[in-house]
């Protein structure tokens, strides 16, 4: 699935199964909540925190998908073409960081 197809699929789902989009502020709060769930799993799986019994049901891939879904909702609501936005962002990073990471001694030592 392309990013464009994902945006179209989410829009179709929202307007049928979901009835309508939540407003942008609600979706921003939901996005923050979903990112927090990703952070919770990562801090326990890859960090120093231990899992609690209530954490065992979480699935990192599903939580990433939740983040992506809400991000796509916000992009759709605000008229952002994520394909074009990502292309422009990568171009910006390529120009800005063309030598920066190569010259970073912290990265070279690993």
Long-range contacts made by residues 17-24, C-beta under 8 angstroms, separation at least 24? 21/73, 21/76, 21/77, 22/73, 24/74, 24/77, 24/78
Structure confidence at residue 28 (pLDDT): 98
Structure confidence at residue 33 (pLDDT): 98
Structure confidence at residue 56 (pLDDT): 74
Structure confidence at residue 25 (pLDDT): 98
Which of the residues in the chain have pLDDT under 70? 109-110
Structure confidence at residue 40 (pLDDT): 93
CATH superfamily of 3-79: MazG-like (1.10.287.1080)
Structure confidence at residue 107 (pLDDT): 84
Structure confidence at residue 110 (pLDDT): 56
* Whether the model pTM is above 0.75: yes
Structure confidence at residue 106 (pLDDT): 84
Residue with tokens 């952002």: 80
- Rounded CA-CA distance 83/87 in Å is 6
Q: How far apart are the first and last CA of the chain?
A: 34
Structure confidence at residue 44 (pLDDT): 92
């Amino acid at each position: 699935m392309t990013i464009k197809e994902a945006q179209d699929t989410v829009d179709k789902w929202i307007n049928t199964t979901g009835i309508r989009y939540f407003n942008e502020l609600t979706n921003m709060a939901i996005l923050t909540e979903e990112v927090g769930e990703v952070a919770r799993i990562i801090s326990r799986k890859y960090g120093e925190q231990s899992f609690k019994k209530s954490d065992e049901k979480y699935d990192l891939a599903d939580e990433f998908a939740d983040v992506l879904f809400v991000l796509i909702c916000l992009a759709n609501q605000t008229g952002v073409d994520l394909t074009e936005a990502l292309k422009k962002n990568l171009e910006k990073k390529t120009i800005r960081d063309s030598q920066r990471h190569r010259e970073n001694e912290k990265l070279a030592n690993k």
